[in-house]
A and B are shown apart, each in its own frame.
Chain A
Amino acid sequence: MSALAYRTLGLIWLGAVLFFLYAPILVMAAMSFNASEFYQLPFRFSTQWYARLADNQEILDAAARSVLIALCVTAIATTLGSMASIAMFRHEFRGKRLLQVLLFPPIAIPWLITGTAMLIFFFGVGLGRGTPAVIIGHVALAIPYVIVVVTARLATFDPTLEEAARALGADAWTVTRRVTLPWIAPGIVAGALFAFAVSFDQFVVSYFLSEPGDSTLPVLIYTAIRKGFTPEINAISTIIITLSMTVMLIAARYSKFGGDR
């Protein structure tokens, strides 16, 4: 097979995977324009769910709160996680394996247990509930993802580059800023995107830790599936995904983090 054939095959594969990833998103968006409250087919066009959403202050507030919390969590978790990854990459020390293994409990243990544990513990130490508690919990859940992803990128980094820069007289901060960070930038961006996703989709921990009347969008959705999960949820999800897509595409236009050399 020629190189061109491989290339075409590869692109088709990528396209098929993207289609697979977006299929339910498209269905979700389509259903937000479907008149049936019970997601019945065949499709009948209607914008009533958007009209109802505009009147639903609770959902709008919850969506805004979720975005804010996720942004805070992303900033904190990405910074702390990247710092820890760099430390583990640069230095050999006793207990390093243990620290790496300790990243697994938050990922492996079902969130239900972690959430209950946080509720009881935060209650026990007097931290209580509320948005600060939610952020503390989310950051802790996001950090392991950031560390794993950034570490995976660091594994491809040649430590002699840092040594060379140091030999040329650069101080530790300059080495980090000019040599290390640019190389691991794709990893940090991926880690940040995961951190955002972890927080933005997290309902168990938020469910236990948020105050009444102060809930996030996933909590609202989680409690709504009991009685009425109306296409309003689809409408707000569609708006959010469209907005984030726009923001991301603009970001992609004006920044370079894919690691092009």
Chain B
Amino acid sequence: MAIHPAGQRRLGVLGLLSPAYLWLTVAIFLPLSAMLYFSVLSDVPFGDTDWHYSLENYRAFWENPVYATLLWKSVKLGLMVTLVSVLVGFPCAYVLAKVIRGRARETLFLLVILPFWSNSLVRIFSWAIVLRGNGVLERSLNAILPFEVDVNLMFSTAAVVIGLVHSYLPYVILTSYLGLQAIDDSLIDAARSMGAGKLTILARVILPLALPGVLAGAVLIFVPVVGSFMEPRILGGRVGTYYGTVIEDQFVAVFNWPLGAALSFVLLAVVLGILALASPILRKAQT
């Protein structure tokens, strides 16, 4: 009568996992597989276009130095935005998890994520109003400061980084919070009573325990930023051309999905490669 425990266990895993993954399969993996298929075609098989299998789209990546240059630029932007977000967000999460107590914490927790619920385009345009010459930032600074300053951050890499950090900061704050909040205060007290300094406690007790959360946040920032194109284009202006821009162009300007898809899969491979390279180092840091 009794189901073998291992069999029951397998059933349980399957029951919990399959709804999510079936959904992902139908709505993401199968469509993306179709795209992968398109990326090895010479032309889109609609109407009576002539097409054949070809790796030319992937070859284009190697042959045209523009793509590699921009991908490297995007990776650097991703690292930069991730680093800034972690440095800004982690202390914030720490305060939220360890300094604030009671009801205020839930409220602040929600306040951190609420800006996320506004429309990203509206947010970007609002940043443009703040950062541009004679904009909100310059006017406010001149109202406060006794001397005149000339601040025009618009259309610079700094503007792109500000806009992106703003868009992705809540991720790292909340995931770090989830890790930090789980650390038992008595552990920190114990370390302190044994004479450990603040830095030692941070490096040996808090960071290792909070790391999974920080990493989850960092990954959730790094991965989409590398492919971003909206913020760079609107806030970066002339210097705002990134890898995501050329992918977008393949869809919007020329009807070249195969190349657009190929460029996206190269992006995916590079991002996964970076994460794979980073994971042993990070795992080491964790122990």
Contact = CB atoms under 8 A, between A and B. Distances in A.
A31 B129 contact: yes
Given A28-B118, A116-B257, A21 B112 contact: yes
Main SS of chain A's interface residues?
helix
A161 interface: no
Nearest to B121: A221
A110 B162 CA distance: 20
A143 to B, nearest CB: 5
B47 to A, nearest CB: 14
B280 interface: no
Contacts of A139: 23, 27
Interface string B92-131: 1011100111110111111111111111111101110110
A210 to B, nearest CB: 15
Contacts of A201: 116-120
Given A13-B95, A17-B89, A112-B247, A121 B20 contact: no
Nearest to A255: B106
A27 B91 CA distance: 26
A227 to B, nearest CB: 14
B203 to A, nearest CB: 16
Interface in B236-287: 244, 247-248, 251, 257, 260-261, 264-265, 267-268, 271-272, 275
Interface stretch (A44-52, A162-170, A190-198): A190-198
B92 to A, nearest CB: 5
A197 B216 contact: no
Interface in A102-129: 102, 104-110, 112-114, 116-118, 120-122, 124
B110 to A, nearest CB: 4
Contacts of B264: 109-110, 113
Contacts of B29: 102, 105
A143 B213 contact: no
A141 B26 CA distance: 12
Nearest to B137: A23
Interface in A86-114: 86-88, 90-91, 93, 99, 101-102, 104-110, 112-114
B212 A25 contact: no
A222 B92 CA distance: 33
Contacts of B248: 110, 112
Nearest to A256: B106
Interface of A: 7, 10-11, 13-14, 17-18, 20-25, 27-28, 31, 39, 41, 80-81, 83-84, 86-88, 90-91, 93, 99, 101-102, 104-110, 112-114, 116-118, 120-122, 124, 136-137, 139-141, 143-145, 147-149, 151-153, 155-157, 172, 186-187, 190, 193-194, 196-197, 200-201, 203, 217-218, 221-222, 225, 229, 233-234, 237, 240-241, 244-245, 248-249, 251-253, 255-260
